[in-house]
Every structure is written in structure tokens, then in C-alpha cells.
């Protein structure tokens, strides 16, 4: 099931948690939603699930608005696990069985075993990671078409984190959609095909992880002395950002790295390098305004 | 088949390109043989814990480059004419490695003749000096 978010806005009082956010989430894939704390990820999830009413904008599932029948198709793992302290893990399984027609208790117990969660334990006796594991097990036992996972690896050890990623990959292979947020960029980088980056309620970057890596490069030039000019290279539309310190210039390009590199050479750079960016680099560039870095930023004026 | 390849998701090289590179390399080295079946998209995705669409994209490109062929319902195989393919792949790998070395050498400001000298010396080290 594909999800279409159009011009979503959510205000709490006068402050916008989500501000004119538009996004298309295709089916049968793992989609990573990234953003600094307070970027609006959780609010977006809540609006998607009908847990928060959008101030304006639309969210459609396969072209249709959220309807009671859609809920059966969506499983949600909230950032803070919602468990009843006095109930055992087993009782939570039973509660889910009663609530959701397609819920499979057998699958839930199998997953709980994978995560090494004891079924007789009361929720209050579970560690943070184990609570996350219970929520994840319940969600993946739902046989839902859409899984919305808000920090689904919070508190989990590396082995269990990998279990969660494998479960996500498995679901995508079955044709289901997974939307997840995580501060562990390495996980998103591994499992997600698409990503969107939110910052202060807005969409600041979106695309296939592989394409973003293929296109975005740092082109670095070192010049013989400080009095070099870039001959307007920094104004090339493919140059997203230009950081210049004394004899070194670093250009963030969104394509044509080889071409930009040879132009730097022509401009007199004695050493030119093209550097790959991993997702963490790409993320940091997307959420840090150019003038917020310690580097001196020079946008060449076109003369 | 245990995963014949590994990916480094933290690298700046797109994962689908890493998969393509390694499959080509495996064929060139004879680790994967002509007619040999590749893991299914789903299986490789699960083995590597990467998105199935990413693996599918790599397989599509490998098919386009005639390195593998996919029989619907049967799976993907190293192409029957992969034998003729292998030297080409080997040439590609060698050329890419040389390109990388040349880019570095040029970047640090070596001239063409200086690089040639280095290259000759390296050839001599690796293959023995035929000239003398």
C-alpha cells in the first residue's frame, strides 16, 4: 500500500511541528525517515495513524483517506513503548489477538523467543530494550501491510537490532511497506531503499540512498596560494554548497563531480580530490545550514 | 549458498554498485562459474540485510550488461557466454584500479613522464624486468 502525504501541516498552538510536508512513500520497500530531535518525525507518524489531527493537508493510503478498515492494515511501534505494567508479555499477546483479526499469536511467541523475551514476565520487569522488543514482536505478528516504526531499535543490543532490520527486510520482500525512523544512521543506510530527511517540520532531502550517494560528492581543491578565484564554479547549479578556507575549497556537488573537478584543475588547483559521502555526511549537510559551520563559506559572486 | 559477497553500507559507494562489482569480480576470479545460479533477490537481500529493491536493481544492471540472465520462475544464472565475459570484466577491474591510481598520482602533481617511470618500475616489480 502506498502512502501519499500532501502539504501536511500540524501546529501545536503557534508552533509548527510539521510544516507543509509532502511525501510519497511507495509500497514494498523500507523507507527511512531521518531528522534531528524535534524535526517532526513522530508528529508525522501520528498524523499518518490518525493519532493526531492534521491542521491541514491530506494523507492517502492507495489514494484513499484513512478509514477504520485501514487500521487493520497498519501496525505501529511508537517511540515510547505502550505496555501495561501489571500485565505479562503473554497477556499482551492475548490482548493483541483480541484486538486484531490477522494477529498471529504463534508468530508473536516465535519473535519474542528470537529477542529472548520471557513470556511470563510482567511489563514492569522489562528493560527498555526488552519493552521495545515486545512492541516490535507485536507489530510484526500483525500481518499488516504497513509497518510504521518509530525508533524500533531503541535500547536493543546489536544482535537484536540486526534482528529488527532482518524482519523489516523480510516484510519488504513480501511486498509490505515499512516506514521507520532511527537516529542510528547506519541502520537506515543498510536497510532503507528510500529516505526522507526532515528538519524543523520541513522536508529537506529525499531520494534513493544509492542515488544520493552516487550523485553527491565533495570536490576538494587545494590551491598554491590564498589568492585564487573559482571562475564562477561555485555558481554552477550542481554546486550545492561551497566552503572555502585559505587555500582549500570544498564543494558539495549534486552531480557532475568529475566535470567540476576538472574545472577546479583548470582554475589552478594543484591537488583535486573527489570524496564519497556516506549517509551520515549527506544527512549532516542536509540539516546544517551552510552558515552554521565553522568553515568560512564563500559564495562566489558572478562577475 | 552462504553470501558470496558482503556490503559495506557505511561506504560512500552505493550498495547496488558494491553488489555489481563483487559479482563481476567473483566471475572474473572464477568463484562464480558459468551457469551457476545466483541467490534469489529475496535471499540475497535477507543474507546481506539490505533492501530487496536494491538487490533487484543490481541484478537488473547485471542483466543489462549481459553478465547474468534471469529465467522467470527459475532464478538468475551466470550467463552461458560468461566465459567471454570474464576477460572483459577483468579488464574493467584493472582499468578502474589504474584510473584510481592515476587520479591520485595526478592530484599530487606528478607529470606524465614521472608517472610513466613509476608505472614501468611497478611493472618490473610485479612481473620481473624483461627489458634488461
Domain CATH code at residue A111: 3.40.50.300
For residues B26-34, average pLDDT? 82
A226 and A255 share a domain?
yes
**Residue A162 within any structural domain of the chain:** yes
A189 to B57: CB separation less than 8 angstroms, yes or no: no
The C-alpha atoms of residue A66 and residue A144 are separated, in whole angstroms, by 15
Q: pLDDT, tens digit, for every residue of A190-225?
A: 999 999 999 999 999 999 999 999 999 999 999 888
Set of cell numbers at residue A60: 492517502
**B14 and chain A in contact, CB less than 8 A:** yes
DSSP result, A59-115: EEETTEE--HHHHTTEEEE-SS----TTSBHHHHHHHHHHH-TT--HHHHHHHHHHT
The C-alpha atoms of residue A150 and residue A33 are separated, in whole angstroms, by 9
Residue A274 has pLDDT above 60, yes or no: yes
Give me the number of domains chain A comprises: 2
User: Do residues A272 and A265 lie in contact, with contact meaning Cβ atoms separated by under 8 Å?
Assistant: yes
Domain with A99 in it: 3-208
A35 and A128 share a domain?
yes
Q: pLDDT, tens digit, for every residue of A24-68?
A: 999 999 999 999 988 999 999 999 999 999 999 999 999 999 888
Provide the shortest C-alpha distance from residue B17 to chain A (in Å): 8
Q: Which residues pair with A271 in a beta bridge?
A: A222
Set of cell numbers at residue A109: 511467541
**Residue A297 within any structural domain of the chain:** no
> ipTM value of the model?
0.79
B9 to A173: CB separation less than 8 angstroms, yes or no: no
For residues B76-80, average pLDDT? 86
User: Could you give the percent of chain B with pLDDT greater than 70?
Assistant: 88
Using alpha carbons, select from A186, B28, B47, A31 the residue that is nearest to residue B20: B28
**Residue A26 within any structural domain of the chain:** yes
Provide the shortest C-alpha distance from residue B126 to chain A (in Å): 28
The C-alpha atoms of residue A27 and residue A124 are separated, in whole angstroms, by 36
Residue A263 belongs to a domain with what CATH number? 3.30.70
Set of cell numbers at residue A252: 558539495
The DSSP secondary-structure symbol of B13 reads S
Set of cell numbers at residue A286: 542536509
The C-alpha atoms of residue B74 and residue A254 are separated, in whole angstroms, by 39
**Residue A302 within any structural domain of the chain:** no
Q: What is the pTM of this model?
A: 0.82
**A190 and chain B in contact, CB less than 8 A:** yes
List CB contacts of A107: < 8 A, sequence separation 6 or more: A140, A141, A143
Pick the CATH number of B15-81 from 3.20.20.100, 1.10.10.10, 1.10.3720.10, 1.10.150.310: 1.10.10.10
For cell 487493520, the residue is: A72
Q: pLDDT, tens digit, for every residue of A228-273?
A: 888 788 888 999 888 888 889 999 999 999 899 989 988 888 888 8
Amino acid at each position: 500500500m502506498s502512502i501519499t502525504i500532501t502539504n501536511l501541516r500540524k501546529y501545536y498552538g503557534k508552533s509548527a511541528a510539521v510544516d507543509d510536508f509532502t511525501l510519497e512513500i511507495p509500497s514494498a520497500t523500507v523507507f527511512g525517515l531521518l531528522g534531528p530531535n524535534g524535526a517532526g518525525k513522530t508528529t508525522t507518524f501520528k498524523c499518518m495513524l490518525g493519532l493526531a489531527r492534521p491542521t491541514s493537508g491530506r494523507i492517502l493510503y492507495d489514494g484513499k483517506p484513512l478509514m477504520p478498515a485501514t487500521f487493520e492494515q497498519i501496525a505501529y511501534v511508537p517511540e515510547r513503548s505502550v505496555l501495561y505494567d501489571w500485565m505479562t508479555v503473554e497477556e499482551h499477546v492475548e490482548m493483541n489477538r483480541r484486538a486484531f483479526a490477522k494477529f498471529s499469536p504463534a508468530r508473536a511467541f516465535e519473535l519474542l523467543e528470537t529477542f529472548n523475551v520471557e513470556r511470563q514476565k510482567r511489563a514492569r520487569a522489562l528493560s527498555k530494550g526488552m519493552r521495545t522488543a515486545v512492541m516490535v514482536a507485536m507489530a510484526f505478528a500483525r500481518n499488516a501491510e504497513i509497518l510504521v516504526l518509530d525508533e524500533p531499535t531503541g535500547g536493543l543490543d546489536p544482535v537484536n537490532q540486526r534482528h529488527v532490520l532482518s524482519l523489516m527486510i523480510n516484510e519488504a520482500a513480501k511486498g509490505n511497506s515499512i516506514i521507520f525512523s532511527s537516529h542510528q544512521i547506519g541502520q537506515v543506510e543498510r536497510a532503507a531503499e528510500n529516505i526522507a530527511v526532515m528538519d524543523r517540520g520541513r522536508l529537506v532531502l529525499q531520494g534513493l540512498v544509492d542515488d544520493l550517494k552516487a550523485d553527491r560528492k565533495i570536490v576538494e581543491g587545494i590551491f598554491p596560494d590564498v589568492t585564487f578565484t573559482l571562475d564562477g564554479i561555485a555558481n554552477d547549479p550542481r554546486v550545492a554548497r561551497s566552503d572555502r578556507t585559505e587555500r582549500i575549497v570544498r564543494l558539495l556537488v549534486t552531480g557532475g563531480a568529475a566535470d567540476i573537478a576538472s574545472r577546479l584543475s583548470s582554475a589552478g588547483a594543484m591537488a583535486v580530490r573527489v570524496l564519497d559521502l556516506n549517509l551520515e555526511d549527506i544527512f549532516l549537510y542536509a540539516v546544517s545550514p551552510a552558515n552554521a559551520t565553522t568553515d568560512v563559506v564563500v559564495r562566489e559572486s558572478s562577475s | 549458498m552462504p553470501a558470496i559477497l558482503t556490503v559495506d553500507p557505511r561506504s560512500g559507494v552505493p550498495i547496488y554498485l558494491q553488489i555489481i562489482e563483487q559479482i563481476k569480480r567473483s566471475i572474473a576470479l572464477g568463484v562464480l562459474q558459468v551457469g551457476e545460479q545466483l541467490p534469489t533477490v529475496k535471499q540475497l537481500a535477507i543474507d546481506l540485510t539490505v533492501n530487496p529493491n536494491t538487490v533487484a536493481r543490481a541484478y537488473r544492471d547485471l542483466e543489462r550488461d549481459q553478465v547474468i540472465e534471469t529465467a522467470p520462475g527459475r532464478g538468475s544464472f551466470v550467463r552461458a557466454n560468461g566465459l567471454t565475459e570474464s576477460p572483459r570484466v577483468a579488464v574493467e577491474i584493472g582499468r578502474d584500479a589504474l584510473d584510481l591510481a592515476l587520479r591520485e598520482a595526478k592530484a599530487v602533481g606528478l607529470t606524465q613522464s614521472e608517472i610513466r617511470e613509476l608505472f614501468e618500475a611497478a611493472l618490473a616489480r610485479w612481473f620481473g624486468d624483461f627489458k634488461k
